Amino acid sequence: MTDYETILFEKIGRVGKITLNRPERLNAVNVRLGHELLDALAQCEADGEIRCIVLGAAGRSFCAGDDLHGMETPGFERPQGPDGVKNYVHGENRWTVAVQAMRRLPKPIVGSIRGHAYGAGFNLAMGTDIRVASETAKFAIPFVKRGMATGVNQLHYHVGLGVTLEMAFTGEPIDADRAERLGLVNQVVPDEQLEEATMTFAEQLAGGPTQSIGLTKAAIYKGWGKDLDTTFDYQAVAQAFAGQTQDREEGRKAFLEKRDPEFKGR
C-alpha cells in the first residue's frame, strides 16, 4: 500500500517517519488507521535503508484512543467473530496487533509524543522503544471513566503496581514531567523542540549497528520479567548472532585502531 489516508509516511535519510494523520479526530484509531500503520511498519522492516523509525502524529495530540464515534469506513469494516476476547486482542488492524508488530520489529522505534496519549494511544506510545515527549503530553488509561475495564497497558515494564492501579482506577492523566520521573518517557522538551529532539535521537540510533540493536531489543523484551538464567540465555543468543554481522567486525577493528566505528547496519 502506498496511498495512505490516515497516516503519512516518509523516509528521511536512514529514518522512516510515520505520522498519524487524523488531527481533526485527535488521531483516534479506526480500522483504516490500524491497517495503514501496520503496512507502514512492514515497509520499514523490509527496507534495508531504514535503520530507525519515528512514530509521531499531526496536530496537537498524539492519539486520543479508539475512535468511539466510528471505527469503520467503507472498505475497512471491523470483522466480529464469536470470541470477544480474540476480537479484542487479535482483531484485524487492532492497536494491539500494531503494538505487537512494533515489539517484534528488529529496528529501534522512537515515539514523538505531544498532547493526548490516551487509551489505545497510550498503548501505541508505550509500544515504541524510546519516547521523547513534549511538555504538553498527557498519558492516561481512561477506561474506567466510561465504565470499562482495563489491564496493565504495558505499565508493568515501567512502573510499580501502585501507580498502575492509580491510573487504572481513576483514569486521570499523568503529565509529561511525572511521566519522565516514572520512566514512562525518556526525555521531555518544549513543544516547539519536539520534532528536532526526536529526529536527533532517531538519527543517533540510525547510525548504530542496526542488526545488533534489533537482537538486543528482542533479548530485552523476551527476557523482561524472566529468571536470571533465562535472561542470560537470551543475551547469549543475541551475542552469538551479532558476532556474525559486518558491524561487529567493524566495531572490533575500530576499537583496536582507536577510532569511532562506521556502522552500516549489516
**Whole-number pLDDT of residue 36:** 95
**Whole-number pLDDT of residue 217:** 96
Place of cell 505487537: 100
**Whole-number pLDDT of residue 82:** 73
Tally helices (H) and strands (E) across the chain: 10, 9
Rounded CA-CA distance 240/223 in Å is 16
Question: Identity (one letter) of the amino acid at 261?
Answer: P
- The DSSP call for residue 75 is T
CATH class of 210-256: mainly alpha
**Whole-number pLDDT of residue 1:** 46
Q: Which long-range contacts (CB under 8 A, 24 or more apart) does 190-198 make?
A: 190/134, 190/135, 191/114, 191/134, 191/135, 191/136, 194/112, 194/114, 194/132, 194/133, 194/134, 195/56, 195/112, 197/132, 198/54, 198/56, 198/110, 198/112, 198/132
Q: Where are the domains of the chain?
A: 7-206, 210-256
Residues of the chain with pLDDT under 50: 1
Of residues 43, 118, 38, 121, the one with CA closest to residue 76: 38
CA distances 12 to 15, 46, 50, 209, Å, are 5, 16, 9, 18
Taking the chain, what is the end-to-end CA distance rounded to the nearest angstrom? 27
**Whole-number pLDDT of residue 31:** 87
**Whole-number pLDDT of residue 72:** 58
CATH topology of domain 7-206: 2-enoyl-CoA Hydratase; Chain A, domain 1 (3.90.226)
Rounded CA-CA distance 249/254 in Å is 9
**C-beta of residue 65 within 8 angstroms of C-beta of residue 120:** yes
